Amino acid sequence: MPEGEIGCASNPAFGREVFFNPKGYTDESYVGTPLNKSAVDGLKLGRLTPNVPYSVKKGADLSEAVQIGLRVCDEQEDKFANY
């Protein structure tokens, strides 16, 4: 698997969105590769297209990456709640 960052965003309409941004493509000018359905739906709603050099192979098992992304969301929410 390529190096990079797994991140998340919360979307009130779709839930938690999980994305992958490869190393070198992690600043805010890049739209990462969506790893779950919520992320795909959120990008469609925002009319955004991933602009990083990696895509997901059809049928790939992304469950571990998605779980990591959801854990990141939980940690971020806890951090903001205790701020």
Q: What's the confidence (pLDDT) of residue 1?
A: 59
Q: What's the confidence (pLDDT) of residue 71?
A: 87
Q: What is the pLDDT of residues 54-64, one digit of tens each?
A: 878 888 888 88
Record the pTM.
0.81
Range of the domain at 67: 4-81
**Number of domains the chain is built from:** 1
Q: What are phi and psi of 11, to 5 degrees?
A: -120, 120
CA distances from 26 to 4, 21, 33, 71 (A): 8, 5, 11, 19
Residue 4, number of CB atoms within 10 A of its CB: 18
